[in-house]
Amino acid sequence: MQQAQQAHVGVLPTLARHESRSFVKAFLAKLTRRATGPLALEFEQTVRKRRMVRHFTKGPVGAEVVTRILELAQHAPSAGFSQGSAYVVVTQPEMKRRLAILQGETEYVGAGFHHWISESPVAIIPCVSEKLYHDRYNEPDKLQDGKEIEWPTPYWFFDIGAGCMIILLAAVDAGLAAAFSGATDPAGIRKLVGIPKHFHPVGVISIGHPARDKKSPSLKRGRRPVEQVVHHEKW
Ligand SMILES: Cc1cc2nc3c(=O)[nH]c(=O)nc-3n(C[C@H](O)[C@H](O)[C@H](O)COP(=O)(O)O)c2cc1C
């Protein structure tokens, strides 16, 4: 085993004290893969393994894991490097309970799902500010003929999506699971956690240790055949 990996092994007793068995197992599996396999395979496995998991065990998620996941999210690209995304981390049970009500958890439970939003150890609210994009694109290097561009696409939503994708994948990479639920009452969420007016909460990412869950009925549709999705040279 190489020196860097030996250094990682040194943290195992601390990990074992603070993290669940599944987390330590995933960490060990990763070390082994790093020692033997190409990194590209590890990335592919992470992408293929990711799915929305709507049930979590009571296993805790350490604050340092959440910090690392969100630090990675900051590496998402953003138009003009506007960096208009922000995240609110909610761990207090009462706040998660209220958030779950706003996210329609009662309806999910009525449909046979678990209390996945209130019971996840960590809830992250991804937010994006359209205003920060207008501010950025009114800076001299972004003006076109002295004016702000006509936005061909609302890039702020593209950028928060990129940040969310990093969070979803980083959770899997950490041996955890996650699920996104879209915000149906953004104003209610904004009020609950004090989000500034110009930030829009797009939903909630629930993160925790995976438990056996009910799959979304939408999955019955199956993945579209690749030839319907990917077009070469011409559509
Ligand atoms: C923008 C967006 C909004 C979504 N909103 C919800 C939601 O409100 N509730 C939910 O249970 N799943 C939601 N999902 C999850 C999708 O149902 C899920 O990604 C899709 O069925 C494919 O399943 P998979 O992610 O497990 O592969 C959302 C996903 C996206 C990308």
Q: Is the pLDDT of residue 6 over 80?
A: no
Question: How far apart are the C-alpha atoms of 95 and 181, rounded to whole Å?
Answer: 16
The residue nearest atom 24 of ligand 1, judged by CA position, is 51
Cα 41 to averaged position of ligand 1 atoms, centre (Å): 25
**pLDDT per residue as tens digits for the range 83-124:** 999 999 999 999 999 999 999 999 999 999 999 999 999 999
CA of 31 to the centre of ligand 1 (A): 31
- Is residue 28 over pLDDT 80? no
Distance 180 CA to ligand 1 centre (A): 6
Pocket test for ligand 1, best of 54, 102, 158, 180 (most atoms within 8 A of CB): 180
Q: Are 46 and 174 in contact (CB under 8 A)?
A: no
Atom of ligand 1 nearest to the CA of 202: 1
pLDDT, position 17: 64
What is the Å distance from ligand 1's center to 179 Cα?
7
φ and ψ at 98, to 5 degrees?
-70, -40
Provide the mean pLDDT of the chain: 91
Q: Which CATH class is domain 51-213?
A: alpha beta
Question: How many C-alpha atoms does 164 have within 13 Å on its Cβ side?
Answer: 24
Ligand 1: atom nearest CA of 51 is 26
Average pLDDT over residues 175-192: 98
How far does residue 71's CA lie from ligand 1's centre (Å)?
Answer: 23
Pocket of ligand 1 (CB under 6 A): 51-52, 180-182, 216, 218-219
DSSP the chain: --HHHHHHHTTHHHHHHHS-HHHHHHHHHHHHHHHHS-HHHHHHHHHHH--B---B-S----HHHHHHHHHHHTTS--GGG---EEEEEE--HHHHHHHHHHTTHHHHHHTT---HHHHSSEEEEEEEEHHHHHHHTTSGGG-BTTB----SS-HHHHHHHHHHHHHHHHHHHTT-EEEEEE-S-HHHHHHHHT--TTEEE-EEEEEE-B---PPPGGGGG-PPPHHHH--SS--
- Confidence (pLDDT) at 3: 45
Whole-number pLDDT of residue 2: 45
Report the percent of the chain where pLDDT is more than 90. 83
Please state the rounded mean pLDDT for residues 130-137. 98
Domain boundaries, the chain: 1-37, 51-213
Task: Give pTM, 2 decimals.
Answer: 0.86
Closest ligand 1 atom to Cα of 184? 8
| Ligand 1 site-directed mutation target among 107, 128, 157, 181, most atoms within 8 Å of CB | 181
Interior CA angle at 100 toward 164 and 169, to 5°?
20
